[in-house]
Amino acid sequence: MRRRIVFSPEAQADLLSLYDYIADQSGEARAIAYVEQIEAYCRGFVTFPKRGTRRDDIRDGLRTVGFKRRLTIAFHVEPDRVVFDRILYGGRDVERAFH
């Protein structure tokens, strides 16, 4: 079953903050390219969504995966969609992001 990919409002805000930071440090072109890479990676979950590390200790059904050793992507899988809950940069505390 192919599921829809959804970014929560918090994940959208995380992407925007990441874009702003990279654009400020390295320019808009690099920021756009990096955010597009993240979005493309997330779209890949449509075919094999149940990957990563289960983090039921934080929230039932929550999973996390790394991206290029710089991001932690937190998501959960529903019957018809994969919801990306947070996209955390630089080792930010996943537990704190959900409390």
**What confidence tier does 95 reach under pLDDT thresholds 50, 70, 90?**
low
CATH of the domain at 19: 3.30.2310.20
What residues make up the domain containing 75?
4-97
- Taking a C-beta distance cutoff of 8 angstroms, is the pair 33, 41 a contact? no
Query: Phi and psi of 85, rounded to 5°?
Result: -85, -45
Residue 79 gets which letter from DSSP?
A: S
Tokens found for residue 23: 């654009």
pTM here is 0.88
pLDDT tens sequence across 23-62? 999 999 999 999 999 999 999 999 889 999 999 999 999 9
Band (69; pLDDT cuts 50, 70, 90): confident
What is the total count of domains within the chain? 1
